Amino acid sequence: MASENQQLHFILVPLMSSSHIIPLTDFAKLLARQGQDVTIITTPLNAIRLNPIIQRAIKSNLKVQLIPLRFPCQEAGLPEGCENLDELTSPDLTKHFFVASGMLQEPLEKVLAKLVPRPTCIVSTNAIPWTHEIAQKFGIPMYVFHTISCFTLVCSHSINHSKILETVNSDYESVLLPDMPHKIEFKNSQLPDMMRKNSSESKNMLDKVKEAENSAQGVVVNSFEELEPSYVEKCKNMMKNVWCIGPVSQCNKEMLDKFERGNKASIDENDCLKWLDSVKPKSVIYACFGSVSHISPTQSIEIGLGLEASNRPFIWIISDRDYSIEVKKWLEDDTFEERIKGRGLIIRGWAPQVLILSHSSIGGFLTHCGWNSTLEAVCAGVPMITWPMFAEQFYNEKFVVHVLRIGVRIGVEGVLESGEDAHDRVLVKGEQVKKAIDQLMDEGEEGEERRKRAREVGDMAKGTTEAGGSSYSNTKLLIQDVIKWRMHQ
């Protein structure tokens, strides 16, 4: 059995988006640490981002490799170089991006046909359902990798199967989800576009995702059993072969792995650590809204004013797409940076988030509630201010605030609309940002309880992906499932 174990070859296929590529790359390292050969399928520009991480893994004797496939930007109607969802200049290009992703099927089949050792299974993120056709063609099992929580999977299942939305008359009317371990309510305005808009296009996509999931040999979730036990149990009743294998970010032990995870950081590692070392423990607010969210210039200014008014030290990440001419002009002309000098650090571009969150000076995280960011805060034992914007982020807010009880809502009630008319839209005023920070950092009984729970959850996360941990054991079970499949063919 052990010798067979060594001969497995996992093919990992993420959607070309940082929120999918990063966790799947981490999972590749976790698989390789259990003796597996792993190949990550990517594209040339994404390969450049990942290469330093993979090279270090190879130097550590891990059998991980990248295979880049040309991304058919032009053929799908995308500008050349748009190989990652982060790079899209307009939300209107999203459907073109998924068309381009689908066009990778044939070149991937050609690559796999020549690959040595022969692939023994495919693990792909749920947004690229066509990989199950490749698995069928090669006679190997396919596993779906979920970049969301079991809680989100259960909420989606409850909404779809109860048809509860059919009883809703208004976007802002709350509905209580049936058959849930906790009291969970949603407004229609807080649900993902695909669920709310119910167009034939989104229904078609959801049907394909569901078909692929139903045909999969199993489901892999970037979560851990101790974090959401009742929802893991419900997932296991909903789907066959569910394994929680996270938080996968914990595979990054070395400082350089944390610093370079995902992309090249826009700040020097030593400068970042020097600034963090200069402030009091648990005093800093870290504000970051992910790689895909687009914050309007007027909203960005309100965020800055709220952080300034809090009178607390902060790190504010302004992504490349949000560092507009208007924001740049405001930062310079309004002497904002001069006013917050020494107390605030602005990072323009990509930030080493795992490195920052794990530093002892961080006291709170103002977040868009992406699942990767949420898990990274959980691992660091950091309480959160929740500001969900789209996709499954409102689910994550409910989980953080109502289930884990380690978060404070900033108060948004609906998804962030895109398009030109949203350019100057402000959903949250600076006073709300300050108020939420004050509430999170409150030194009274409520604040202390929240911080205590955050620490306890962080302690639960420790060691889950190491030998003896629940997620390590589940990864081993996944490997054994692939072996069992192969033996019975």
Query: For residue 426, what are the domain limits?
Result: 262-461
- Asked whether the predicted pLDDT for residue 424 surpasses 70, the reply is no
375 and 271, same structural domain? yes
- pLDDT at position 387: 97
Same domain for 148 and 286, yes or no, is: no
Q: Is residue 134 part of a domain?
A: yes
> Is residue 420's pLDDT more than 50?
no
Asked if 23 contacts 248 with a C-beta cutoff of 8 angstroms, the reply is yes
Average pLDDT, the chain: 91
Q: Are residues 272 and 321 in the same domain?
A: yes
* Span 127-156, pLDDT tens digits: 999 999 999 999 999 999 999 999 999 999
Would the pLDDT of 419 be above 60?
A: no
**How would DSSP label each residue in 170-237?**
STT-EEEPSS-SS--EEEGGGS-HHHHH--HHHHHHHHHHHHHHHHSSEEEESS-TTTSHHHHHHHHH
Residue 179 lies in a domain: yes
Q: Is the pLDDT of residue 446 over 50?
A: yes
Residue 283 sits in the same domain as residue 321: yes
pLDDT digits (tens, 9 = 90+) for 49-58: 999 999 999 9
Do 118 and 149 belong to one domain?
yes
Domain CATH for 322? 3.40.50.2000
Does residue 10 have a pLDDT over 80? yes
Q: Are residues 470 and 433 in the same domain?
A: no
If asked whether residues 389 and 453 sit together in one domain, one would say yes
CB 25 within 8 A of CB 53: yes
Query: Does 269 share its domain with 127?
Result: no
Are residues 145 and 229 both part of a single domain?
yes
Determine the average pLDDT of the residues in 410-436.
80
DSSP symbols for 467-482: TTSHHHHHHHHHHHHH
Question: Is 91 among the domain residues?
Answer: no
pLDDT tens-place string over residues 91-132:
889 999 999 999 999 999 999 999 999 999 999 998 999 999
9 shares its domain with 41 = yes
